[in-house]
Amino acid sequence: MENILPTLQAGLPVLLGQFAVTLVLLGGGIVVYMWVTPFNEPALIRQGSVAAGIMVLGTLVALSLPLAATLASSLVVLVVLIWGLVALVIQLLTFVLASRLMGDLRRMIEAGNVAAALVVVGIQLAVAILNAGAMAG
């Protein structure tokens, strides 16, 4: 029991630093994602678009998976930052490629095409799981 406090004092700052860096990476990743997408997710979501909601949800999870793997396998904040950036680039490129494969994704999402959103999110999540495995490797 007496070892818990020193361990907590030593480990908590590291945990908070890594967590903060990862949250900033996640926030930055979603901002870049919304900048890259040809549609306005917040406006579509306010209008009740399930397809746009699915796209944002899937992107958040797809960005989070490799970031979590980086957290789990790294003890140094700089390593988390560098590999986190690599993970985000891979995931954002995955979105760009998946949206190009789908054709006119903007029209489909703006029309509320849930099937199109699910396909893109499926691709994003599949790559995110592989990306996380590679990051944890």
DSSP state at residue 76? S
Give me 73's structure tokens: 């396998």
Give me 83's structure tokens: 């590999």
CB proximity list for 23: less than 8 A, separation 6 or greater: none
**Residue-level pLDDT at 10:** 79
**Residue-level pLDDT at 11:** 78
Long-range contacts formed by 40-44: CB under 8 A, 24+ apart? 44/109, 44/110
Residue with token string 């957290």: 71
* Cβ contact 37:100 at 8 Å: no
Please name the amino acid found at residue 87.
A
Give me 31's structure tokens: 């901002």
pLDDT digit string (tens) for 64-112? 999 999 988 888 889 889 999 999 999 999 999 999 999 999 999 999 9
Give me 26's structure tokens: 């996640």
Between 26 and 80, the more confident residue is 26
pLDDT band at 9 (very low <50, low <70, confident <90, very high): confident
* Cβ contact 36:95 at 8 Å: yes
On the question of pLDDT at 2 being above 80, the answer is no
**Residue range 58-67: mean pLDDT, rounded:** 95
**Residue-level pLDDT at 136:** 86
Give me 10's structure tokens: 């030593």
pLDDT band at 1 (very low <50, low <70, confident <90, very high): low
**Residue-level pLDDT at 4:** 84
On the question of pLDDT at 7 being above 70, the answer is yes
pLDDT digit string (tens) for 100-136? 999 999 999 999 999 999 999 999 999 999 999 998 8
What is the distance of C-alpha 10 from the center of its chain? 29
